[in-house]
Amino acid sequence: MDYSYIIVFVIIIIGVLIWQLNRSRSQHYVLSKQLFPELDLFVLIAKKERKIQNLIVHIKAKKELNIKQVRCELISEKREFTYIDSSEISESITLPFRIQHQATYEAVIPFKNLKEIISGKISSMNTFRMVVVLEHSKTFKSHELALNKYWKIYKADTGKYN
């Protein structure tokens, strides 16, 4: 009896299962990385099946901090600023938040909600960036980001798309 067909069939089934498991997980890509004396600020996107699901503001504290706000700063062509508070975009972000030394905090913003808010202000908006406000109104800002006509986010100064 020839078992080669059975072995090939089993290998194909295992390959399909591994492919499905990898496809169902979301992948994270770094859009902006800013290193400050008090914290490291990362802006990530989470993609699932090649579509952006979430925008993540990842904060790693280098000392004990009190995060008051996470907000989106819309920048017009005339360099005028409009701020969108995280409470308008996502209900899951609870602030203020005390973060310990060497601990991390992630503010997850659903991309669908961000798209809806930005699309209402798209005529005046050129770029945007994520802003973290600590106690005593100390602010930390990410690089400027932009959206293309297909709603893909890219770093505006490099033109590199995700």
Distance separating alpha carbons of residues 22 and 1, to the nearest angstrom = 35
Give the Cα-Cα-Cα angle 119, 70, 30 (nearest 5 degrees): 75
What would the CATH number be for the domain defined by 28-161? 2.60.40.10
pTM recorded for the entire structure? 0.77
Cis peptide before 96 (omega within 30 of 0): yes
Each of the 162 residues of the chain gets a pLDDT tens digit; together they read: 577 888 899 999 999 888 877 776 778 889 899 999 999 999 999 988 788 899 999 999 999 999 998 998 888 888 888 888 888 888 888 788 898 999 999 999 998 888 888 777 666 667 889 999 998 889 999 998 887 776 777 776 655 555
